Chain A
């Protein structure tokens, strides 16, 4: 029998039991739609995280005081900035000088971070303040300005405000040139940052001012030459690993510590990014596995329908065999039918899955703790994979019923239900 004729015969089956065919296909549609939606959302999430982490920059290295030691039970973290001491665990301008001598470094920004009381338009709150080096900050910031300008050398009572703090925290939004009192000192807003939505240190809710001024207003006591962290920009992202090692080496010798007594930590954000994308990859793999289960349910639906068809069509199978149809041709007849269920279910499922994915941003679901809106990324790969997978699932679910049909003996099939 020619393949086209087998195909047409299969189609005639699908068309004759229309209701059951559609119910079978609906099972596949649900499975495929959830697979497509979940893969798309997973990819969107991954891109989201990459974007947010992009705020850190692959070429950024951070130095913080304290060192996390996992020495059995005796693990400790010396990053206690809220305790105002000028104890040994501190970064100073001496460290900045040392770091600046490391080859491959473009800028070093010594940061002074802390909390401060804020008074604005009769409202009071506590905000986090970041004191920056005004000469390099604007060169290193990735967030960008929504309005106004960056800080510049010579500024003393000027501040730049994060987007959410400016527009979302007070009854009266903060705008340029508005007076704000921080830590009892009067400031003028010269710039407002764009919304970063990122993991990059909460720039959206922070206030930026020159480091010298920050030391005066924050509630934590800081010595004049003291910093809470340092952000370093490398000249080339590919050198980050070496530069990081170099900084560690130089700081250890200048601070006269050894790997055991080390009292600072150097972090390369590129490595964090790798870890994060690993996490999201695992997460989307996990979600895809859940979606695959619903596709499995669809597959069982196909197999069930095919078994029912084979049973119902025992006489037709006998007839086909009596007139000379081979086992292989009968196999094909049923496999094409289950393949059609997979194909049609796959195509419609992809349409639904894409629709769901496109609706996600409008639903405005906040991504799991990453901030920003959830988005879905649909790729041609996902679509072809989903349809192809669905067809394969359809054919596989048909194999056992089809074999069952093909192996029937014509006499038994003709006797049946006589």
Chain B
């Protein structure tokens, strides 16, 4: 079963009188174990597609299936809970909760989903170690570099054992060196079986994925 399936998805933004179609009948399947890069020029609809893949927004037309379930059949609360648990998000910037430490940030999704306290601590420490930031556990986001923040964000995205790690321009704000570290972590996770969908407009970065999908003007380029 596919983790995510978009079937002829349209997204039309209404700006007063004007309608802006950002997605025009996009179809996409993400199978377990994939490391998929979604590419395309600016304004082609990548972020809009990511909102669909991440179930953060509902399509104007067409269907989105999360682990085989049509999300249109779910209530807002159900969708929110399932999304939070099955999809781990890494955004381009401002990923972390500024009033919480690195460790607390990693724990946050587990607290939202009411994990057992002992598991919360074990898992969060284990994940910080995985991204190489055990020594920064008590640091606040303002006390960390952009690359470190992104690594904490990855650790947090993994904390609920999601089916999918979804990243929108995760290296967009980083220099080449820090960006490479992030991509190494993605590759390593994918090797361990984590499904990754990464959005980027950089060919070199997309090259790290084992499948590349290109978007032009709201649909996939064939």
Binding site for B on A (CB under 8 A): 1-2, 5, 9, 12-13, 15-16, 315-316, 319-327, 329, 409-411, 414-415, 417-418
CA distance A327 to B76 in the complex (A): 10
A411 and B109 contacting across the interface, CB-CB below 8 Å: no
B84 and A324 contacting across the interface, CB-CB below 8 Å: yes
Interface residue range, chain B: 20 to 34
B100 and A411 contacting across the interface, CB-CB below 8 Å: no
Q: Evaluate whether A319 and B97 lie within 8 angstroms (CB atoms) in the complex, with A2-B114, A414-B91 already known.
A: yes
Q: Evaluate whether A323 and B112 lie within 8 angstroms (CB atoms) in the complex, with A315-B94, A409-B57, A414-B91 already known.
A: yes
Q: Which residue of A lies closest to B51 (CB)?
A: A411
Q: Evaluate whether A410 and B94 lie within 8 angstroms (CB atoms) in the complex, with A323-B112, A324-B81, A324-B83 already known.
A: no
CA distance A323 to B55 in the complex (A): 11
Chain A residues within 8 Å of B54, by CB: 322
Q: Evaluate whether A326 and B80 lie within 8 angstroms (CB atoms) in the complex, with A2-B111, A418-B93 already known.
A: yes
8 interchain residue pairs of minimum CB distance: A324-B84, A12-B99, A16-B99, A5-B111, A323-B109, A411-B57, A323-B84, A410-B56
Q: Which residue of B lies closest to A409 (CB)?
A: B57
Chain B residues within 8 Å of A9, by CB: 99-100
Chain B residues within 8 Å of A415, by CB: 47
Q: Which residue of A lies closest to B100 (CB)?
A: A12
> Taking each of A5, A321, A323, which has the highest tally of chain B beta carbons within 10 Å of its own beta carbon?
A323
> Taking each of A315, A316, A324, which has the highest tally of chain B beta carbons within 10 Å of its own beta carbon?
A324
The residues in B between 106 and 134 inclusive whose CB is less than 8 angstroms from any CB of A are 108-109, 111-114
Q: Which residue of A lies closest to B91 (CB)?
A: A414
The one of B95, B104, B111 that contacts A319, using a Cβ cutoff of 8 Å: B95
A321 and B80 contacting across the interface, CB-CB below 8 Å: yes
Q: Which residue of B lies closest to A415 (CB)?
A: B47
B89 lies within 8 A of chain A by Cβ: yes
B77 lies within 8 A of chain A by Cβ: yes
The one of B47, B89, B93, B98 that contacts A316, using a Cβ cutoff of 8 Å: B98
B80 and A16 contacting across the interface, CB-CB below 8 Å: no
Chain A residues within 8 Å of B95, by CB: 319
Q: What are 20 A-B residue pairs whose CB atoms fall within 8 Å in the complex?
A: A2-B114, A9-B99, A12-B100, A12-B104, A13-B99, A315-B94, A319-B89, A320-B112, A322-B83, A322-B84, A323-B108, A324-B80, A324-B81, A325-B80, A326-B77, A327-B76, A409-B57, A410-B57, A418-B93, A418-B94
